[in-house]
Amino acid sequence: MRYLTFALTKGRLANKTLELLEQVGISCEEMKDKDTRKLIFVNEELKLKFFLAKGPDVPTYVEYGAADIGVVGKDTIMEEGRKNYEVLDLGFGKCRMCVCGPASAKELLNSHEMMRVATKYPIIAKDYFHNEKHRSVDIIKLNGSIELAPIVGLSDVIVDIVETGSTLKENGLEVLEEVCPLSARMIVNRVSMNMEAERINNLIKAVREIL
């Protein structure tokens, strides 16, 4: 039997994914060692491999078949636009993609004047403003701490992830519009879905039952 390989998103999503997999009888003891510098972990008994990657790289590993299965946020799936099957909403990592800013930006947001939008998600932001709101905007790509942008005058609004809303609140910003809800999803390589149909479908079924 060949190995089925999982690409997991480093951090909180990976921990949640491992918890979920344990519930369906898939565990990887090696991976629980927090001090390890190992990058790939094996469950010999079930012929499974696991590795951790940065979120935006997960759909890439899966598209090229370096991993059969990936677990990653819907935000990353939309932004990366890779050709994979999205097979399950895992129900954790729930948050929302929103347009946020100071309350004073509402008027500009509802106008057709030029507006600057800072975001870590330029594709999602462009799709939202161009295709849904039929409005042109100036998109500025940033890599983190997006809430800073409207505060220091880099942009009028931001498109960013809101979970509890406390980052916004503590910085005098608010949700102005919701773009879409987000959560962790399971994705599968298109060829693996056929070649390993039985094993992958059994896994999907088992996970679906406990969700």
Contact residues: ligand PRP, CB under 6 A: 120, 144-147, 160-167
CA distance 17 to 67: 15
Which of 69, 159 has the CB closer to ligand PRP?
A: 159
Min separation Cβ 107 and ligand PRP, Å:
24
Min separation Cβ 76 and ligand PRP, Å:
12
Q: In this chain, which residue has its C-beta nearest to ligand PRP? A: 144
Which of 97, 186 has the CB closer to ligand PRP?
A: 97
Min separation Cβ 30 and ligand PRP, Å:
27
Q: Is 92 exposed, middle or buried (0-12, 13-18, 19+ CB in 10 A)?
A: middle
Q: Could you tell me if residue 145 is left (phi over 0), alpha (psi between -120 and 50 degrees) or otherwise beta? A: left
List the structure tokens of 23.
Answer: 């519930």
DSSP state at residue 104 = G
Q: Is 55 exposed, middle or buried (0-12, 13-18, 19+ CB in 10 A)?
A: buried
Which of 75, 156 has the CB closer to ligand PRP?
A: 75
Min separation Cβ 56 and ligand PRP, Å:
12
Which of 148, 204 has the CB closer to ligand PRP?
A: 148
